[in-house]
């Protein structure tokens, strides 16, 4: 396996992706952080936009193989698949998603797919009521929506774990105190201080 890492952090709204990706970014040297928002186009034309965007992203990753740099993503095409499975968009994405996942799995990186979740679902209410949160057109920030997303992300993680042995699938309960989550991440991502 390569020495460089691709780390993809996914999970529902309000689960703490920003906090965790910031921690990883500042803890592992030579790590670039990318925050992706996908496309807000929920119509069938959004499918083509997403396809092109994520194919270009994987081409970019391919160009960075063996360059001694780590790539950290706060959301990628996994979110597109989850949102489509939940009916937030007018199209299915699974055919494109499966091709993208296959390309990802064949990159020469140590690949980590991290799904954050909250075992205490009441915690979503607290986190989603934070001030200044963005409004997203195709889904609302609410507890029920986040719980549905969480369940779908966890299903996706199991599917990936079963099919792709070279992708390190990690699920982390982010309800716990930040220090214990950070400690677990250090251990699982095998980085040294």
Domain span holding position 46: 5-189
Overall number of domains in the chain: 1
* Higher per-residue pLDDT: 191 or 144: 144
Residue 103 sits in a domain of what CATH number?
3.40.50.300
For residue 86, count other CB atoms closer than 10 A to its CB.
14
Burial readout 16-35 (b: 16 or more C-beta within 10 A, e: otherwise): bbeebbebbbeebeebebee
**In angstroms, how far is CA 92 from the centroid of its own chain?**
19
Model pTM above 0.85: yes
Tell me the pLDDT of the chain averaged across its residues: 88
Predicted confidence (pLDDT) per residue in 56-90, tens digit: 999 999 999 989 999 999 999 999 999 999 999 99
């Amino acid at each position: 396996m390569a020495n460089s890492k691709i780390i993809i952090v996914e999970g529902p709204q309000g689960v703490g992706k920003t906090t965790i990706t910031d921690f990883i970014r500042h803890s592992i040297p030579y790590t670039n952080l990318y925050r992706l928002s996908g496309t807000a186009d929920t119509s069938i034309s959004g499918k083509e936009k997403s396809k092109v965007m994520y194919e270009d992203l994987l081409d970019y990753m391919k160009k960075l193989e063996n360059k001694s740099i780590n790539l950290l993503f706060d959301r990628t095409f996994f979110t597109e698949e989850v949102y489509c499975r939940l009916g937030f968009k007018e199209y299915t994405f699974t055919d494109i998603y499966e091709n993208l996942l296959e390309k990802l799995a064949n990159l020469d990186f140590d690949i980590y797919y991290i799904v954050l979740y909250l075992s205490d679902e009441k915690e979503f209410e607290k986190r989603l009521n934070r001030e200044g949160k963005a409004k997203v057109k195709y889904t609302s920030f609410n507890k029920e929506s986040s719980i549905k997303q969480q369940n779908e992300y966890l299903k996706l993680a199991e599917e990936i774990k079963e099919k792709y042995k070279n992708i390190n699938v990690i699920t982390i309960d982010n309800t716990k105190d930040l220090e214990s989550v950070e400690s677990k991440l250090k251990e699982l991502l095998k980085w040294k201080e």
